Amino acid sequence: MKTGIQIVEIEPYSGSQKILNKVCEKLTAEARQKSFQTSKEFEDRVREVVQEIMNGSGIAIDFDPHPQAFPDIAVGSFGIEVKFTTNDTWRSVANSVLETNRIADVKKIYLVFGKMGGRPEVKWGEYDKCVIHVRTSHVPRFEVELSAEHSLFEKMGVPYDEFRNLSMEEKMRHIRMYARGRLKPGERMWWLEDTPDDPGHTLPIQARLYTKLSTEEKTKLRAEAALLCPKIVQSGRSRDKYDDVVLYLLTYHGILCHQGRDLFS
C-alpha cells in the first residue's frame, strides 16, 4: 500500500560538500584576480574562507595547528587536506602513508587543490578517491590527483578507512603487492622486498667494484648469480641477457659490475 511518503536517503557529508563548493568558488575568483604565490599563502587563505563560511556554526578553525597535522584543517568531523601548485596540473605528492599525526575527530577527509598554472582554479575532491599512487623514498608517500579514474585503494582492493587503520607492516604488504604489479620486464623491487629468509633486506652503505673483489668472493658471487639469473643462457644475440646479473649484484650485494658479460663468456 502506497502511503504517499517518500523516503530520501541523505548523504551524510552533503553539508560539508556545500561548504567546499563555496570555498572553491570564492578562492577560484580570488586566484583569477591575483594568483596565490606560495602554498602557505594559499593554505592560510583556505582557513580564513572556511572560517568565514562556518561563522555561527559553533565550529572554530585552528589557525595554529601542529605543523605535521593530518589533515591540514579540521572542520568538526570532516577535514581538509590542502594542496597547491604553480604548475598546470592536478597531481601532487601527498602525506605519508603512516598518518602518524592524524586528527582523531576527523572522520571524512577532502582535498582542496589550488592550481595556479594555466587558468587558475581551485577544486575539491574526496581524499580517498584522489589517492592514485604511492611512492617510496625514505618514507612511503601517497600521490593524489583530482578526477582520477581509479584510486590506489581500488587497485589494492582495500578501502581507505580499512587501510589507514592497519599496522605499518600490514600496509606495506598491500603496497608491495601493488608495486609488484607495476614492474616491467627486467625490473626488480629490491628496495621493498620481504622474503621469509631475508625480512630486513638491506644494502651495504659503501658500494664496491667487482674488479676489486678477491678471487674467492668473485667465484662465489658468479655461481650465485648463475643460479638466480637464468637469462644468461639465452641466445647470444639477446641484448639484455646479462642485465639481471648486474642488477642482482648491485641491489643485493652493493657491488657494481660493469663487465657483466665477461663473467660468463
Contacts of 5 (CB under 8 A, 6+ apart): none
Q: 135 or 200: which carries more pLDDT confidence?
A: 135
- Average pLDDT for residues 196-207, to the nearest whole number? 52
Residue 217 has phi, psi (to 5 degrees) of -70, -35
- pLDDT surpassing 50 at residue 198: no
The winner for highest mean pLDDT among 56-70, 187-201, 231-245 is 56-70
Question: How many beta carbons lie within 10 A of that of residue 48, not counting itself?
Answer: 13
Q: What is the mean pLDDT of the chain?
A: 83
pLDDT at residue 138, as a whole number: 60
pLDDT at residue 125, as a whole number: 97
Contacts of 126 (CB under 8 A, 6+ apart): 108, 109, 110, 111
Residue matched to cell numbers 568565514: 52
Q: 232 or 44: which carries more pLDDT confidence?
A: 44
Checking 62-71 for CB contacts under 8 A at 24+ apart, the result is: 66/101, 68/100, 68/101, 69/101, 69/103, 70/95, 70/99, 70/101, 70/102, 70/103, 71/103, 71/106, 71/109, 71/127
The pTM of the full predicted model, rounded to 2 decimals, is 0.70
Q: Can you read off the three cell numbers belonging to residue 144?
A: 593524489
Domains of the chain as residue ranges with CATH: 14-153 (3.40.1350), 208-263 (no CATH)
- pLDDT tier for residue 264 given thresholds of 50, 70 and 90: low
Alpha-carbon separation of residue 37 from 52, 115, 118 (angstroms): 22, 11, 14
- Do 179 and 189 form a contact (C-beta atoms < 8 A)? yes
Q: 136 or 172: which carries more pLDDT confidence?
A: 172
Going by C-alpha positions, the residue among 134, 125, 126, 137 that lies closest to residue 161 is 126
Distance between CA 89 and CA 121 in Å, rounded? 11
Q: What is the pLDDT of residues 125-165, one digit of tens each?
A: 999 999 999 986 567 899 999 988 999 999 999 999 999 99
- pLDDT tier for residue 7 given thresholds of 50, 70 and 90: very low
- pLDDT tier for residue 211 given thresholds of 50, 70 and 90: confident
Q: What single DSSP character describes residue 11?
A: P
Buried b / exposed e over 101-122, threshold 16 CB at 10 Å, is ebbeebebbbbbbbbbeeebbb
- pLDDT tier for residue 181 given thresholds of 50, 70 and 90: confident
Query: By 3-state DSSP, what share of the chain in percent is helix, strand and coil, each rounded to 5?
Result: 40, 20, 45
- pLDDT tier for residue 240 given thresholds of 50, 70 and 90: confident
Residue 256 has phi, psi (to 5 degrees) of -90, 120
- Positive or negative: CA dihedral 166, 169, 170, 175: positive
- Average pLDDT for residues 232-257, to the nearest whole number? 75
